[in-house]
């Protein structure tokens, strides 16, 4: 059971928008920055969002992040079939003194 | 170019020891923590622990504390993850990543560890 809770799967049509939620607590999301990762099968994860809403260079602005209280959200607009992947949220947990990840969300672009 | 290059796939028997490595290049190795992440077959990412290469200070997830050891040799820009006695349940892909602020921005290619009798 992951410390951070994500929906197992989401789906949307090409061109549409999708959001992926990540729910935690005051010991993790509530008081620390959130990052988001994209992972294709058989490859290493890739950083999409850091510090709640910042994009590394090279990440298109179709990807956005936000945080409110003890929850965070990844938004993807203009969905493409190439966005089909697993998405993970991550943050620091001050009670555990350790990093934590969500269980991951599989995005299907119908 | 920032790179983290991990050592190759390993096949081990239960009870054996193992050390896998992660060599950083293209940046100041001692300026960024190195994180280790486990991914069991078909499962999600699990944060195992991290090390500060400048002073070898470590944090471990409670789930992994006492079962693995994270170390570093800053003279060769290499971090290590080691087990003294492997279990079948250690079969997984292991990734190292560079921790930058509040995100892991560069990742190694992964080490597949298979433990089987």
The 3-state secondary structure of B3-15, one letter per residue: EEEECCCEEECCC
d(CA B115, CA B117): 7
| Token output for B11 | 């096949």
Rounded to the nearest integer, the mean pLDDT of chain A is: 96
Given a cut of 80, is residue A32 above it in pLDDT?
A: yes
Given a cut of 80, is residue A84 above it in pLDDT?
A: yes
Instruction: Note the pLDDT of residue B40.
Output: 97
Q: How far is A12 from chain B, CA to nearest CA, in Å?
A: 22
In terms of DSSP bridges, do strands B103-107 and B92-100 run parallel, antiparallel, or are they unpaired?
antiparallel
Q: Are A91 and A5 in contact (CB under 8 A)?
A: no
A to B CB pairs, distance under 8 Å? 71
Sign, CA torsion A87/B92/B97/A32: positive
Any chain B CB within 8 A of the CB of A3? no
Given a cut of 80, is residue B102 above it in pLDDT?
A: no
For the segment A33-51, the average pLDDT, to the nearest whole number, is 97
For the segment A4-20, the average pLDDT, to the nearest whole number, is 97
């Amino acid at each position: 059971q992951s410390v951070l809770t994500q929906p197992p799967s989401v789906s949307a049509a090409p061109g549409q928008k999708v959001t992926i939620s990540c729910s935690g607590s005051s010991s993790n999301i509530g008081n620390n920055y959130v990052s988001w990762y994209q992972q294709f099968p058989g490859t290493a994860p890739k950083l999409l969002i850091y510090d709640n809403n910042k994009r590394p260079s090279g990440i298109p602005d179709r990807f956005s992040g936000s945080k409110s209280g003890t929850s965070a959200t990844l938004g993807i607009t203009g969905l493409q079939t190439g966005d089909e992947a697993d998405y993970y949220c991550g943050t620091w947990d001050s009670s555990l003194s350790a990093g934590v990840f969500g269980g991951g969300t599989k995005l299907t672009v119908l | 170019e920032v790179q983290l290059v991990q050592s190759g796939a390993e096949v081990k028997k239960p009870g054996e020891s193992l050390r896998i490595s992660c060599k950083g290049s293209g940046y100041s190795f001692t300026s960024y923590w190195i994180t280790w992440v486990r991914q069991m077959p078909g499962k999600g990412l699990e944060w195992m622990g991290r090390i500060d290469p400048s002073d070898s200070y470590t944090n471990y997830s409670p789930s992994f504390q006492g079962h693995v050891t994270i170390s570093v040799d800053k003279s060769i820009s290499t971090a290590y993850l080691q087990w003294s006695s492997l279990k079948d349940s250690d079969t997984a892909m292991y990734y190292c990543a560079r921790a930058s602020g509040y995100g892991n921005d560069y990742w190694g290619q992964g080490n597949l560890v298979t433990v089987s009798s």
